[in-house]
Amino acid sequence: MSMSDAIDAPCFLDVRDVRKHYPVTSGVFHRETGRCNVLNGVSLRIREGEIFGLVGESGCGKSTLAKILVKLTPPSSGDVIFLGSPLSVIARRDRRDFYGKVQMVFQDPYSSLNPRLTVGEIVGEMARIRGASRNDSVRETHAMLRGVGLPGDVMGRRPHELSGGQRQRVAIARALIVKPRLLIADEPVSALDLSTQAMILELLQDLKEKLNLTILFISHDLDVVAAFCDRAAVMHLGCIVEVMDAGRIFESALHPYSRALLDSIPIMDPALRQNDGTEGGPAPSEARRRCKKRLISGEPPSPLRLPSGCTFHPRCPLRMDVCAAERPKLLARGDDSHTVACWHPDSGFTNGSG
Amino acid sequence: MLRDKLPWIGAGIIAFFIFCAAAAPWMAPCDPYAINLEERLAPPSAAHLLGLDANGGDVLSRLLYGGRISFTVAVLVVFLSGGLGVGVGLLSGYYGGVPDAILMRVVDVLLAFPGLLLAIALVAVLGPSVANVVLALTVMGWISFARLARGQTLSIKQREYVLAAKISGQSDLRVMRVHILPNIMSPIIVQGVFSVAGVIVSEASLGFLGLGAPPGSPSWGVMLSEGKQVLLEAPHVSFFPGLTIMLVVLAFNFLGDGLRDRLDPGARSRGRVQGEDAEIEAEPSHG
């Protein structure tokens, strides 16, 4: 832990060295023959009222972390402190209370709504199980649906009658009707088309102000994170490798993996793409167009056999001897708001003393 | 397209037989228990449309009353075993862990037994009666429902709407009742329809072996068995009960196929097995 972490006052959401592995078993007796290491020591501190972005490629453990935060699965070790109390000690009978403070919006609006229930039932259920009378729950549901920009007549419809954007609005209404303080949004727009994405993001921003929400926004879209979030963390193979102000992600990202993620965004401007000057004829090949970029090659390492040291070193263009030997710590670079876990001097200064 | 019409034909045949069974007291021309030894084994005639059996009982009347036994047993067994099996499968699939593993091994052991053989053993121990037939067939029947419900639960419980329900703060039982059960019902209903066919055959088989309804009672299986002794002199005594069993079983299979195509399109390979066994078992007895 860095100095700045140690002296902080109790914070809103404190993820402390959370690890998660799944046993890999084989044979009739389910002998454990291996381990799938999904989260390898994630520490994060999220402040009240911010939108915190979590970025990383598929399979890096973003969704597993989200599931741990809503207690859908327990961490293998480490704990999460939410509003001063550890999640691990929440009793079963206090679950309802906990889920009144933490809610989640899922990635796929096509599978996150029960196809057998009407929209009114899906959203109203949340109020009903918290003891609201039938009339109250209908009124609250109606107000909430209007709040997420849906017409009143969707109450009686079923999910298959709605568009993707409308469904995601219903999912947001379901999460927010309990007035949570923390909303975990697991890629809430990645299943939607672009114009709908913008509207849903606008809605989330709007509701965040109105309801005084804190949002953990999980995404693999750096543009969206840069525009929508206050701070962002980059995750690679179950480790946080960099935390910085989201607005400066394009200029100030230092970790080679963050840079690689930024470089992998396709350039939409043909003029920029062809700046290596191709003589007429057929369009330049894909490889040619991308030759200026530093794309990472190869597959992400398998979580079944974690690389030694820095988990990114097998694919890192800047790797040095120390990278394979020891895991770098998240340390502040420049100012306190920017921390990077990397040994390479190009990413700020030499990490630690080892 | 014949294939599209088959389920409707099946439903029509089922409706016809159920109506006949329900209306048996009004429709039957004779008392099913009447004994008329003078005219015994009389072939079909205007007075007795399907002829008389070895005791001079009217075959048509006995078939109509027999439907009451068959359908009652079938409905009871399917609801009891379906309810038990779905409950067990749902809980087992939802909670998983050691109880689930133990339960599924028990199911595997039971499945390794030939179903009818175990039912025969059970009824032989408990004593032949219609109630014990229901009990024995339920003991055999819940297994397939439990397996099906468990498998469906395992796949549905990973859906995001179930996860969303889990983090809504509602009880596990409510999550299962409101969010899982309605979404696994389609294949279970299909399985239920196929099971009706299977149970009718099993009930008839037990009756045929003298382990179901008592001798002399108007049960399709018992009638087949009694007709067997006079097969050469009076084939009509066993032919009509055999034909009835075959038609009813076929009708439930047609209906089950149609329902499966409509409700559960992903599962053409499942559920059929029991129905096909049923048809094979039904054939040799009426030949």
Which of B114, B69, B79, B77 is closest to B207 using CA atoms? B69
CB pair distance less than 8 Å for A99 and B178: no
Interface A-B, measured as beta-carbon pairs within 8 A, has a size of 58
CB pair distance less than 8 Å for B160 and A107: yes
For residue A235, the cross-strand partners are A240
User: Taking CA A238 as the corner, what is the angle to CA A237 and CA A242, rounded to the nearest 5 degrees?
Assistant: 85
Residue A273 — very low, low, confident or very high, per pLDDT cuts 50/70/90? low
Residue A71: closest C-alpha in chain B: B167
pLDDT at B68 over 60: yes
Chain B residues touching A125 at Cβ < 8 A = 168, 170, 178
- Please tell me the distance in Å from A247's CA to the nearest CA on chain B: 31
For residue range A197-253, list pLDDT tens digits in order: 999 999 999 999 999 999 999 998 888 999 999 999 999 989 999 999 998 888 888
The closest CB to that of B169, out of A99, A107, A115, belongs to: A99
The closest CB to that of B160, out of A95, A102, A108, belongs to: A108
This model's pTM is above 0.90: no
CB pair distance less than 8 Å for A111 and B174: no
The lowest-confidence range among B21-25, B57-61, B101-105, B279-283 is B279-283
Burial class (CB in 10 A: 0-12, 13-18, 19+), B277: middle
Chain A residues touching B179 at Cβ < 8 A = 114
For residue range B29-42, list pLDDT tens digits in order: 888 888 888 888 88
What are the percentages of helix, strand and coil residues in chain A, rounded to 5? Answer: 35, 25, 40
Alpha-carbon distances, residue B187 vs A238, A278, A336, B150, B260 (angstroms):
39, 60, 58, 12, 7
For residue A52, the cross-strand partners are A216, A231
What is the pLDDT averaged over residues B148-158?
Answer: 94
The closest CB to that of B179, out of A67, A97, A114, belongs to: A114
Q: What is the CB neighbour count within 10 angstroms for residue A34?
A: 13
pLDDT at A41 over 50: yes
Selected for mutation to probe chain A from B95, B108, B166, B167 (highest A CB count within 10 Å) is B167
CB pair distance less than 8 Å for B161 and A130: no
pLDDT at A271: 64
Chain B residues touching A171 at Cβ < 8 A = 164
The closest CB to that of B160, out of A96, A112, A130, belongs to: A112
What is the pLDDT averaged over residues A269-289?
Answer: 49
- The mean of the pLDDT values for chain A is 84
Chain B residues touching A67 at Cβ < 8 A = 163
The closest CB to that of A115, out of B164, B165, B183, belongs to: B183
Residue B180: closest C-alpha in chain A: A114
Sheet holding A85-86, edge to edge: A31-46, A13-26, A77-82, A85-86
CB pair distance less than 8 Å for A111 and B169: no
pLDDT at A163: 92
CB pair distance less than 8 Å for B178 and A95: no
| DSSP secondary structure of A115-128 | TTS-HHHHHHHHHH
CB pair distance less than 8 Å for A116 and B183: yes
For residue range B166-220, list pLDDT tens digits in order: 999 899 999 999 999 999 999 999 999 999 999 999 999 999 998 888 888 889 9
Q: What is the CB neighbour count within 10 angstroms for residue B266?
A: 9
Selected for mutation to probe chain A from B98, B162, B168 (highest A CB count within 10 Å) is B168
Chain B residues touching A114 at Cβ < 8 A = 161, 165, 178-179, 182-183
The closest CB to that of B169, out of A96, A108, A117, belongs to: A96
Chain B residues touching A98 at Cβ < 8 A = 169
Chain B residues touching A94 at Cβ < 8 A = none
CA distance B186 to B180: 12
CB pair distance less than 8 Å for A129 and B182: no
Q: What interhelical angle do B2-22 and B236-263 show, nearest 10? A: 130
Which token pair is B77? 């067994």
